[in-house]
Amino acid sequence: MNKIAIIGASGYTGGELLRMLLNHDKVEITDVTSRQYDGVPVHKVHPHIRDSGLVFRNKRVDEIDADIVFTATPHGASMKVVPDILETGAKVIDLSGDYRYRDRAVYEKWYGIKHTDELESVFGLPEIYRNEIKKANLVANPGCFPTGAILSSYPLVKNNLVDRIVIDSKTGVSGAGISASATTHYPNIADNVNPYKISSHRHMSEIQQELHGFDDVKVSFTPHLVPVNRGIQTTSHSFLIEDISADELRKYYEKEYKDEFFIKLMDDGEIPHLSSVRGSNFVHIGGFEIDETGRVVMLSAIDNLVKGASGQAIQNMNILLGIEENEGLRHYGLHP
Amino acid sequence: MNKIAIIGASGYTGGELLRMLLNHDKVEITDVTSRQYDGVPVHKVHPHIRDSGLVFRNKRVDEIDADIVFTATPHGASMKVVPDILETGAKVIDLSGDYRYRDRAVYEKWYGIKHTDELESVFGLPEIYRNEIKKANLVANPGCFPTGAILSSYPLVKNNLVDRIVIDSKTGVSGAGISASATTHYPNIADNVNPYKISSHRHMSEIQQELHGFDDVKVSFTPHLVPVNRGIQTTSHSFLIEDISADELRKYYEKEYKDEFFIKLMDDGEIPHLSSVRGSNFVHIGGFEIDETGRVVMLSAIDNLVKGASGQAIQNMNILLGIEENEGLRHYGLHP
Amino acid sequence: MNKIAIIGASGYTGGELLRMLLNHDKVEITDVTSRQYDGVPVHKVHPHIRDSGLVFRNKRVDEIDADIVFTATPHGASMKVVPDILETGAKVIDLSGDYRYRDRAVYEKWYGIKHTDELESVFGLPEIYRNEIKKANLVANPGCFPTGAILSSYPLVKNNLVDRIVIDSKTGVSGAGISASATTHYPNIADNVNPYKISSHRHMSEIQQELHGFDDVKVSFTPHLVPVNRGIQTTSHSFLIEDISADELRKYYEKEYKDEFFIKLMDDGEIPHLSSVRGSNFVHIGGFEIDETGRVVMLSAIDNLVKGASGQAIQNMNILLGIEENEGLRHYGLHP
Amino acid sequence: MNKIAIIGASGYTGGELLRMLLNHDKVEITDVTSRQYDGVPVHKVHPHIRDSGLVFRNKRVDEIDADIVFTATPHGASMKVVPDILETGAKVIDLSGDYRYRDRAVYEKWYGIKHTDELESVFGLPEIYRNEIKKANLVANPGCFPTGAILSSYPLVKNNLVDRIVIDSKTGVSGAGISASATTHYPNIADNVNPYKISSHRHMSEIQQELHGFDDVKVSFTPHLVPVNRGIQTTSHSFLIEDISADELRKYYEKEYKDEFFIKLMDDGEIPHLSSVRGSNFVHIGGFEIDETGRVVMLSAIDNLVKGASGQAIQNMNILLGIEENEGLRHYGLHP
């Protein structure tokens, strides 16, 4: 049995790791840490995780005995513990933004935090970086918006088809975390749509990093909070450099994703739905339409807490452990 | 007292006309017609409109005695009754798409219906066509998406600032009407975001008609159904021809809308919310941001059934009657 | 013009008072106070109330110049300001629980606060205490749950029909107020039903006070938080002392409420809906069924912020001012 | 591998059977039938079930080759196919109401259908009838409301503690099935609470059958539709025959359910949440409070499509197959 620890397990991503890992046949959870809830049984925070026997502990890094450690810690906090964890010989999958950037200056600009180490990390999007992840000691699990945005647009930039991409994303409220705030106050969300950080969300820089690589494409991003618990619906509006047909467009996606277990391409006229991926690690990609102005419309649906966070982290864990990549992740979405 | 009739009063727009007109001091409702509900008291269909004394009647056009007639009839049905109503001497405000197009060929292409008359109509967006509406006998009340989209982008095209606009709209489900369908089945909407007709919604042609007039701007449109009862949140992504500052951008909007009672410009950093306009005729416009790729982000919020339909129709009625434009429409939105 | 002040105007009930009073033809608002938001324009807190010219001020009671003062202050805070306001000659409508109890010991038990004065007050439920309200200087505006519960059950106890009543209420989240908390965190509310204080909610004592008066009926109460913004749906399960028919049952309600503008009795088989009263001061009452075990099922729907708070307060204000009781309150509910 | 067929697999309960059985290690699905969708791949109806290879077929009963057959057919339709299926040697788990009643006259009264056979069936609530189910050929899977209601009240009647029970249930909309109707039209559900069949829902008779057995307790039931996708929250108000303490009350439940994997008793002060059981087969039971009028308040939360339908059916299947009762059903609820 592979031993797994979760640092900072009292948030939603911690809860999701527990939900899925406790039914994963190849691992056992040895430690769940929390400063705030030291000594508290897990079900007091995650009321669905009952009779697990797990209790939050405020452990020091050197007290942790694990093969893989998930750091579900806030941005800026991960970099304070990850180097020490790596020294114990464990591999780390970090769910914060701390290790996602190839250029640390970009991180520092967008997160407003001075980076304190120079560790090598791999961007943990297996559909693009699977081979690099296999060899990594430190995997930077991607952000939720970037996961939906990158996967829905990647074939466009890889094949140099478009010169501008506008990502218009709609996210469920669980993306804001387990802590209450005016933003997540029910009457402010229900029956509302809340655009926010409309030209300056930090995930734009992460999307740009991954989509820029290929060419000089302009990438813009605007997120919206919608009255949904889980899920990110991404609408990607892109502008063709040269005319192609909708059929050709689809072929680029089929070629790119044909062997990917977690990516499902919708039939013609079929729309990806959040409910279809709810609670699951699947990505549904659809759209494949081009309007008369040369605009490509691509759509994706993910569960922000699963493929957008903890499920993808487990997918990375499976790769690091050399077991089946979809182990513990095969369950379908919870529709309706 | 001005006499008002509503043809096709059993849908949501009919219900909204009733809700607002029954508390309007300058008009009385003389007829509410419905084929399906002939003889049925209004509250059996609109359960909030109680003790009005009104009963649906299946009346012929020539039986109607009114100064102003609202035709809240389906696309294609309006053109069958509007000519006869005009012959009675009444003025008509049509809530369907039948009279919105200057070029009837565009209508026929997008609605798939042969147009049967050549009546002159005015596009009933008072903030742009107020003077024309004053003199009209037939006002074509705009579509819901176009109202939010045009008002949020009009100063951009009027001042020739942008060469491409992508309208990404999120609408409440009441926009789909009072009749149940798989699309509006609660489990298909709740906790979901449903993009639809992603490159081919007919309202795109109506938006294009109004925004094209000034220049050769490319206009694209994608609507999404969100788990909201009322409201359309519009995010307009536009691309600057030449650099301007956010302050200059705002000034164009302030100049255009400074005397408009129903348009409220948000402060810097303030987001228009659907809840702020819920049930009201107000339009909240915000955004005023420009990102590093030269993309302008503008936002608007309207109630699709009020400013996007029946409220705007009453605003047009007030103009036709020569009374205060906001009579019966001054109530604030229902936040929270 | 009657001068009106609102003490503590930055909460939801304050916002609702503003929304309705700013379109009330017989009053003008002279003061809106808030300690927290001194100097802040009203729209920064209530984003729908724009261009009112009103600014929150942290005024002392003796600086306020008003004929009627609404105290929208927390429980325990009202009793600290109400005596001084009354000394200025203004009449007071208090929206807290401080003056609702005939027996102050009951208040002290359920609110855990020592009461500091002995002022005479009238329980501000006009459908029951209209004559007393006319002569009052201090009106204690009822709680939201009690309003829906009392009105749906009052004819049962007044006519001595039942010996036990179980009130099972479902409330929208705005009842929890404008401040965010774990309770109102969107992911804890959406797609959930949260019973709370299932045998010990303080509103039970207020309901009991009003329903006990007539006879020795046992009254129980359990509230539930449902994913709704506004509204309280009350299901009242009562047990008949002697058999009566459903028709007789209905007649008691018709007799009691026949002249009440704000109370609407549903037709047979018609259910009161929250949407029918949303944003309005109406109370919809239905049910009128008796099952084979002798259980009477009565239902009511109110908007918790309107008839359950600010609308009823304005109704009381109209009575105190001797103007039409429904002035400024005639608008219908916002369905859908 | 055990061979499983699903008759009538195109509804929500069919979708849920597929979702869970396709990840069940001890069974394979050999047939999924549908008249309406003959030849249609499963994902066209259940968009989350992709790449299963399954296609709906309109098969005759004698063409089906299975060890266990689930009949997810409408009330009245099951009795037309079940006898023939049993003749093939397969065991049947019927999800309709057809075989739930010990007294067929009660069925005929409440369902308005003449029963056409005299087959022996077992009421498939394993926590009560496990031993009978083991030996059965035909298991009548309980209704959704009865599952939540019976389990939350069973220890009360088994131990003769109460003489009257009022079940006030709040259900998600998926309980109304996959077909759209005015009832499930989003704007009629969202921001609303809809009581229905307030004194005459047919599930009352099923609850009464199971709770009456022990004593002459009066059982009433009122369901409400709430804006929730999945889940039934049950509040059970019962009246003590003799005083007991809350601690004693809890002990009866602990004794009854101590070995039940799927039943979780909440801690003191902890409320069962629908989100905690969403998508899972768990039942959360809480409350354990007694008010001053002698009213016991008990609460339960289930997922209506899982423990209230398909999950419980799989639990019954596991029992019939003699494998672990929680096989394929161990996953936690999807909170948040």
Q: Which among D185, D228, D275, D278 is the top mutation candidate for probing chain B, defined by the most B β-carbons within 10 Å of its own β-carbon? A: D185
pLDDT of residue C213: 63
- Residue A214's pLDDT band, with cuts at 50, 70 and 90, is low
Interface check for A184 against chain B (CB to CB < 8 A): the answer is no
Interface check for C277 against chain D (CB to CB < 8 A): the answer is no
Residue C321 falls within a domain, yes or no?
Answer: no
Residue B112 and residue B184 share a domain: no
Torsion of CA C65, C67, C71, C77, to 10 degrees: 60
Of C174, C186, C228, the CB nearest to A184: C186
pLDDT of residue D169: 98
Could you tell me if A194 and B275 are in contact, meaning their C-beta atoms sit under 8 angstroms apart?
Answer: no
pTM over 0.80: yes
For D229, the closest chain B residue by CA position comes to: B187
Residue D89 and residue D203 share a domain: no
Average pLDDT over residues D139-164: 97
Q: Do B184 and D189 touch (CB under 8 A)?
A: no
Q: What is the pLDDT of residues C256-282, one digit of tens each?
A: 999 999 999 999 999 999 999 999 999
**Which stretch of DSSP H or E encloses residue A153?**
helix A144-158
pLDDT of residue D212: 80
Residues of D with a known catalytic role: 144
Residue B170 and residue B27 share a domain: no
Interface check for B48 against chain C (CB to CB < 8 A): the answer is yes
Cis peptide before C336 (omega within 30 of 0): yes
Active-site entry in C21, C92, C144, C274? C144
What are all long-range contacts of A239-245, with beta carbons under 8 Å and residues at least 24 apart? A239/A162, A239/A163, A239/A164, A239/A165, A239/A294, A239/A295, A239/A296, A239/B164, A240/A161, A240/A162, A240/A290, A240/A294, A240/A295, A240/A296, A241/A160, A241/A161, A241/A162, A241/A163, A242/A161, A243/A294, A244/A161, A244/A290, A245/A290
Q: For residue C162, what are the CA distances in angstroms to B141, C152, C207, C263, C294?
A: 55, 13, 15, 22, 10
Residue D167 and residue D104 share a domain: no
User: How far apart are alpha carbons D125 and D142 in whole angstroms?
Assistant: 7
Q: Identify all chain C residues contacting B15, using CB atoms and an 8 Å cutoff.
A: 335
Annotate C115-172 with DSSP letters as a single string: -------EE--HHHHHHHHHT-SEEEPPPHHHHHHHHHHHHHHHTT-EEEEEEEEEE-
Of C23, C230, C335, the CB nearest to B47: C335
Interface check for B290 against chain A (CB to CB < 8 A): the answer is yes
Q: Identify all chain B residues contacting D305, using CB atoms and an 8 Å cutoff.
A: none
For D186, the closest chain B residue by CA position comes to: B186
Q: Do D228 and C290 touch (CB under 8 A)?
A: no
pLDDT of residue B118: 87
Residue A273 and residue A169 share a domain: yes
User: How far apart are alpha carbons C320 and C131 in whole angstroms?
Assistant: 10
Q: Identify all chain D residues contacting B227, using CB atoms and an 8 Å cutoff.
A: 186, 190
Chain B adjacent subunits, 3+ CB pairs under 8 A: A, C, D
Which ranges of chain C have pLDDT less than 70?
Answer: 213-215
Interface check for C181 against chain D (CB to CB < 8 A): the answer is no
Closest CA to A121 of A146, A144, A156, A96: A96
Specify the number of domains making up chain B.
Answer: 2
Closest CA to D283 of D142, D162, D97, D160: D142
For D198, the closest chain C residue by CA position comes to: C297
Residue D125 falls within a domain, yes or no?
Answer: no
Residue C155 and residue C114 share a domain: no
User: How far apart are alpha carbons B333 and C51 in whole angstroms?
Assistant: 13
Q: Which among C170, C191, C211 is the top mutation candidate for probing chain D, defined by the most D β-carbons within 10 Å of its own β-carbon? A: C191
Is B144 a catalytic site residue? Answer: yes
Chain D adjacent subunits, 3+ CB pairs under 8 A: A, B, C
* Structural tokens at position A3: 């031993």
For B276, the closest chain C residue by CA position comes to: C48
Which ranges of chain B have pLDDT less than 70?
Answer: 213-215
Q: What is the pLDDT of residues B152-186, one digit of tens each?
A: 999 999 999 999 999 999 999 999 999 999 999 99
Residue A321 falls within a domain, yes or no?
Answer: no
**Ranges assigned E (strand) in chain D:** 2-7, 27-33, 68-71, 91-94, 122-123, 138-140, 162-171, 194-195, 218-225, 232-240, 263-265, 283-290, 295-302
Interface check for B44 against chain D (CB to CB < 8 A): the answer is no
User: How far apart are alpha carbons A105 and C86 in whole angstroms?
Assistant: 63
Residue B152 and residue B78 share a domain: no
Residue A137 falls within a domain, yes or no?
Answer: no
Interface check for B219 against chain A (CB to CB < 8 A): the answer is yes
What are all long-range contacts of C35-41, with beta carbons under 8 Å and residues at least 24 apart? C36/C10, C37/C10
User: How far apart are alpha carbons A9 and C176 in whole angstroms?
Assistant: 29
Residue A332 falls within a domain, yes or no?
Answer: no
Interface check for C58 against chain D (CB to CB < 8 A): the answer is no
C121 φ, ψ (degrees, to nearest 5): -135, 160
User: How far apart are alpha carbons A224 and D18 in whole angstroms?
Assistant: 33
Interface check for D51 against chain A (CB to CB < 8 A): the answer is yes
pLDDT of residue A84: 96
Could you tell me if D265 and D253 are in contact, meaning their C-beta atoms sit under 8 angstroms apart?
Answer: yes
Q: How many residues does chain A have?
A: 336
Residue C26 and residue C161 share a domain: no
For chains C and D, count residue pairs whose Cβ atoms are closer than 8 Å.
140
Of D183, D187, D227, the CB nearest to B174: D187
* Complex ipTM over 0.90: yes
C125-C128-C130 Cα angle (round to 5)? 75
Could you tell me if B33 and B58 are in contact, meaning their C-beta atoms sit under 8 angstroms apart?
Answer: yes
**Which stretch of DSSP H or E encloses residue B238?**
strand B232-240
Residue A78 and residue A17 share a domain: yes
Could you tell me if D122 and D129 are in contact, meaning their C-beta atoms sit under 8 angstroms apart?
Answer: yes
Q: Identify all chain B residues contacting D228, using CB atoms and an 8 Å cutoff.
A: 190
User: How far apart are alpha carbons D17 and D72 in whole angstroms?
Assistant: 9
User: How far apart are alpha carbons A298 and A156 in whole angstroms?
Assistant: 10
Residue given tokens 């941005």 in the structure block: A75
Pairing of strands D263-265, D283-290: parallel
pLDDT of residue C212: 80
Of C174, C182, C187, the CB nearest to A187: C174
Burial of D177 per CB tally in 10 Å (0-12, 13-18, 19+): middle
Residue D213, pLDDT above cutoff 80: no
Q: Identify all chain D residues contacting B334, using CB atoms and an 8 Å cutoff.
A: none
Which CATH number does the domain housing residue D214 bear?
3.30.360.10
Judged by phi (left if over 0) then psi (alpha if -120 to 50, else beta), residue D218 lies in beta
Which CATH number does the domain housing residue B22 bear?
3.40.50.720
Range of the domain at B13: 2-119
For A246, the closest chain B residue by CA position comes to: B199
Quick count: other Cβ atoms within 10 Å of Cβ D35?
11
Interface check for B48 against chain D (CB to CB < 8 A): the answer is no
Q: Identify all chain A residues contacting B187, using CB atoms and an 8 Å cutoff.
A: 275, 336
For A301, the closest chain D residue by CA position comes to: D48
Residue A109 and residue A150 share a domain: no
Q: For residue C296, what are the CA distances in angstroms to A100, C161, C206, C250?
A: 63, 10, 22, 11
Residue B163 and residue B83 share a domain: no
Q: What b/e readout covers B204-231, taking b as 16+ CB neighbours within 10 angstroms?
A: bbbbbbbbeeeeebbbbbbbbbbbbbbb
Q: What is the pLDDT of residues A276-334, one digit of tens each?
A: 999 999 999 999 999 999 999 999 999 999 999 999 999 999 999 999 999 999 999 99
Residue B322 falls within a domain, yes or no?
Answer: no
Residue C191 falls within a domain, yes or no?
Answer: yes
User: How far apart are alpha carbons B54 and B41 in whole angstroms?
Assistant: 6
Q: Identify all chain B residues contacting C47, using CB atoms and an 8 Å cutoff.
A: 270, 273, 275-276, 335
Q: What is the pLDDT of residues D256-291, one digit of tens each?
A: 999 999 999 999 999 999 999 999 999 999 999 999
Interface check for C21 against chain B (CB to CB < 8 A): the answer is no
* Structural tokens at position C163: 């010996």
Closest CA to C334 of B272, B285, B277: B277
Interface check for C336 against chain A (CB to CB < 8 A): the answer is no
Q: Do C184 and A187 touch (CB under 8 A)?
A: yes
3-class DSSP assignment, residue C236: strand
Quote the minimal CA–CA distance from B278 to chain D in Å.
13
Residue D114 and residue D151 share a domain: no
Cis peptide before B336 (omega within 30 of 0): yes
User: How far apart are alpha carbons C98 and D141 in whole angstroms?
Assistant: 52
Q: Identify all chain A residues contacting D276, using CB atoms and an 8 Å cutoff.
A: 47-48
